């Protein structure tokens, strides 16, 4: 996604067969795709400086490939991914300085490859470990370096 025009083009989609990349967009604070149910390929959310939330992806239930969320300076939550239950590839959440909670991913039951939760500045390490323990992961689980307050 490279512009607001690209965002407008996919807003009415219920399914995307390939990848959806939301990357390196300094202007973007959130994404509103309330009609989206499935992404057949990867969902990539990385290096979006102003993004505080992924936004309205409340109907997204399945990602056929990878979910990669990294290096989003202001991202605090994966709000509105509460219906996501399946990630066919890996799930990586890393280097999001303001990221605080995995609660929004409470419906996630399956990850088809690795699960990595690493170096999220405000995420409690024990919360990240508890989240990982509740997901059926087909390969390696790596949870480390999350520095949030665990009170």
Quick check: 79 and 103 in contact, CB under 8 A? no
How do the pLDDT tens digits run along the chain, 151 residues long?
454 565 566 666 789 999 999 888 877 788 888 889 999 999 999 999 888 888 788 999 999 999 999 999 999 988 889 999 999 999 999 999 999 999 999 999 999 999 999 999 999 999 999 999 999 999 999 999 999 888 7
CA-closest candidate to residue 116, choices 135, 144, 96: 144
Length of the chain measured in residues: 151
- Measured distance CA(151)–CA(147) in Å, rounded: 12
Buried b (16+ CB within 10 A) or exposed e, 122-139: ebbbebbeebbeebebee
Contacts of 14 (CB under 8 A, 6+ apart): 35, 36, 37, 38
Contacts of 54 (CB under 8 A, 6+ apart): 22, 30, 31, 45, 69, 75, 77, 78, 79, 80, 81
CB atoms within 10 A of CB 67: 25
């Amino acid at each position: 996604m490279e512009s607001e025009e690209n965002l407008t083009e996919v807003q009415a989609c219920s399914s995307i067969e390939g990848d959806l990349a939301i990357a390196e967009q300094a202007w973007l604070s959130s994404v509103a795709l309330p009609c989206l149910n499935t992404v057949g390929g990867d969902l990539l959310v990385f290096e979006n400086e102003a993004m505080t939330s992924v936004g309205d992806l409340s109907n997204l239930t399945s990602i056929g490939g990878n979910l990669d969320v990294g290096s989003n300076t202001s991202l605090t939550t994966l709000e509105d991914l509460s219906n996501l239950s399946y990630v066919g590839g890996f799930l990586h959440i890393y280097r999001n300085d303001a990221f605080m909670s995995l609660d929004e991913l409470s419906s996630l039951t399956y990850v088809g490859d690795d699960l990595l939760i690493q170096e999220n500045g405000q995420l409690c390490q024990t919360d990240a470990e508890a989240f990982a323990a509740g997901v059926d992961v087909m390969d390696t689980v790596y949870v480390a370096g999350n520095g949030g307050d665990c009170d």
